Amino acid sequence: MKTTVVGRQMNVYDETKELIEKKLSKFDRYLRGDPEAFVTLSRVRENDRMEVTISSNGTLFRSEKTSPTFRIALDECVEAIERQLRKNKTRLQKKLREKITFPQDEHDERTISEESDFDIRTKSFPLKPMTPEEAILQMNLIGHSFFVFRDDITGDTNVVYKRESGSYGLIVPETDK
């Protein structure tokens, strides 16, 4: 995460900048792309004020706290942004659930050959790029034991499935080397 630390009418020490970068770096695992953080420090009367704004893929997370020390303000800002991230994730999952539409059984059923005893039902659906976690969420939403999806990083077609132990599995195609 690219972090910019600015002091309004004050100097910001290197130790403070390093502490801020260290605390904000934990958000890297939650945010996609190349997130940027902009931190402004100032003194208001006898208190220290910190404003933290994180931009990631067009989404802004912002917190502004006033405390007796910058360390306390930093901890409060990190907690506030963490709450915002959780709230945003829940909101996205809710929207994802609402937008999921699966085609009805309008697909043709056909037999491989007349002398074969196998009836194969064919289904088709759009493969959208997503993470394995999103695919597990989709699988649980539709109540199936497996889900086929396109990996958003590699572009490969993968399968997530529910194991008998209750955990999940991921089938990834082997690539030729």
Query: Residue 107, Cβ neighbours under 10 Å: how many?
Result: 12
Q: Where are the domains of the chain?
A: 2-98, 109-171
CATH code of 2-98, in short, is: 3.30.160.100
CATH class of 109-171: alpha beta
Q: With contact defined as beta carbons under 8 Å apart, do 8 and 50 qualify?
A: no
Distance CA 52, CA 65 (A): 9
Mean pLDDT of 104-113: 46
pLDDT at 92 over 50: yes
Residue 33's region, left for phi above 0, alpha for psi from -120 to 50, else beta, is left
- Least confident range from 3-7, 17-21, 26-30, 70-74: namely 26-30
Give tens-digit pLDDT for 28-67: 887 877 888 999 999 888 889 999 988 887 677 888 999 9
